[in-house]
């Protein structure tokens, strides 16, 4: 069977209309530490599926409050596993949709090359003026940072020097701009493919803090949105997991 140019145009147009009809937007709330990876993943997802991702970035605790207050998010990528679990128990999620998409790593980082040694001894020397961390009450990476300081017996010694960011992005900004000589940030913010992109750092052993298990979940508002389920499925696929690993996360 052969198509005339006019029939071929009609067939292609019908196919494009069908794809457009199936494409949808999904609004997602993303923990600040996962900003760079999700931007890459979303670009691939949009090319592969036709769906569009509208992402907001911020602290996990802040998103929890917004979701409780009716924010329009349909998928939540948290920086911990407890917040999505809490939302699940409150009936604010699609049952059975929660899963761990990444396990985060904490790094003591400085924008200055050679400033942080590979064992973190710079902390014990305590010669710095400012140490940046994320707010431990709302940001899981901030909580992990306080656990590390406690395990090392340094909590009281460095307390006067702590500067808190509202989230891990702001903590990173404090260090990147030189307002703090060093700080605890997410490894994903300062590395790619296993190497630091700038400055110097010490990847904190996982034994010094609770696991940073980062869970994703489809929220109740995304129950009937095909793009929400498609994105969650995509996060589990090979393209997304390759990106996640490249930014230093475990799976």
Return the pLDDT at 134. Answer: 96
Residues 10 and 82 in one domain: yes
**pLDDT (tens digit per residue) in 70-102:** 999 999 999 999 999 999 999 999 999 999 999
Distance (Å, whole) CA 182 – CA 192:
19
Interior CA angle at 61 toward 237 and 214, to 5°?
25
H-state helical runs in the chain: 5-22, 35-49, 60-68, 82-89, 121-125, 140-151, 155-158, 168-176, 187-190, 226-235, 238-246
Return the pLDDT at 23. Answer: 86
Residues 15 and 55 in one domain: yes
Predicted confidence band of residue 12 (pLDDT cuts 50, 70, 90) = very low
Question: Looking at the predicted structure, is the pLDDT value of residue 168 above 60?
Answer: yes
Flag whether 168 is marked binding: yes
**pLDDT (tens digit per residue) in 145-158:** 999 999 999 999 99
Distance (Å, whole) CA 106 – CA 151:
14
Distance (Å, whole) CA 222 – CA 8:
37
Mean pLDDT of 134-150: 95
Return the pLDDT at 15. Answer: 44
Residues 161 and 74 in one domain: no
Range of the domain at 173: 106-203
Residues 196 and 232 in one domain: no
pTM: 0.84
Return the pLDDT at 209. Answer: 97
Distance (Å, whole) CA 16 – CA 13:
5
**What is the CATH classification number for the domain harbouring 195?**
3.40.190.10
Distance (Å, whole) CA 143 – CA 203:
16
Return the pLDDT at 153. Answer: 97
Q: Please provide the average confidence, as pLDDT, over all residues in the chain.
A: 92
29 and 58 Cβ atoms separated by less than 8 Å: yes
Q: Does the residue 38 lie in any domain?
A: yes
Helix axis angle, 140-151 to 168-176, nearest 10°: 70
Q: Does the residue 69 lie in any domain?
A: yes
Q: Within 13 Å of residue 63, how many CA atoms lie on the same side as its CB?
A: 32
Sheet of 182-186, strands arranged across: 162-165, 131-134, 182-186, 106-110, 200-203
Return the pLDDT at 8. Answer: 43
Residues 124 and 194 in one domain: yes
Residues 22 and 45 in one domain: yes
Q: Does the residue 208 lie in any domain?
A: no
Question: Looking at the predicted structure, is the pLDDT value of residue 164 above 90?
Answer: yes
Distance (Å, whole) CA 165 – CA 153:
22
Q: Quote the DSSP letter at residue 108.
A: E
Predicted confidence band of residue 138 (pLDDT cuts 50, 70, 90) = confident
DSSP letters of 165-202?
Answer: ESSHHHHHHHHHTTSSSEEEEEHHHHEETTEESSSEEE
Flag whether 83 is marked binding: no
Residues 56 and 68 in one domain: yes
Number of folded domains that form the chain: 2
């Amino acid at each position: 069977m052969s198509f005339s140019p006019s029939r071929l145009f009609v067939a292609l147009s019908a196919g494009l209309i069908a794809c457009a009809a199936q494409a949808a937007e999904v609004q997602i709330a993303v923990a600040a530490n996962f900003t760079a990876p999700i931007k890459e993943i979303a670009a691939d997802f949009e090319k592969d599926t036709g769906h569009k991702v509208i992402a907001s970035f911020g602290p996990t605790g802040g998103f929890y409050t917004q979701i409780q207050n009716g924010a329009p998010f349909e998928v939540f990528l948290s920086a911990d596993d407890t917040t999505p679990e809490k939302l699940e128990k409150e009936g604010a999620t699609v049952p059975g949709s929660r899963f761990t998409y990444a396990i985060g790593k904490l790094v003591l980082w400085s924008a200055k090359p050679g400033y942080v040694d590979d064992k973190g001894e710079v902390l014990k020397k305590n010669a710095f003026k400012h140490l940046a961390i994320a707010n431990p009450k709302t940001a899981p990476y901030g909580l992990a940072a306080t656990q590390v300081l406690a395990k090392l017996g340094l909590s009281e010694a460095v307390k006067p020097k702590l500067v808190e960011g509202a989230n891990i992005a702001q903590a990173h900004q404090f260090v990147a701009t030189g307002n703090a000589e060093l700080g605890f940030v997410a490894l994903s913010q300062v590395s790619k493919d296993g190497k630091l992109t700038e400055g110097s750092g010490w990847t904190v052993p996982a034994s010094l803090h609770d696991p940073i298990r980062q869970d994703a979940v489809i929220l109740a508002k995304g129950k009937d949105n095909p793009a929400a389920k498609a994105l969650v499925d995509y996060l589990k696929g090979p393209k997304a997991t390759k990106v996640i690993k490249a930014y230093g996360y475990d799976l």
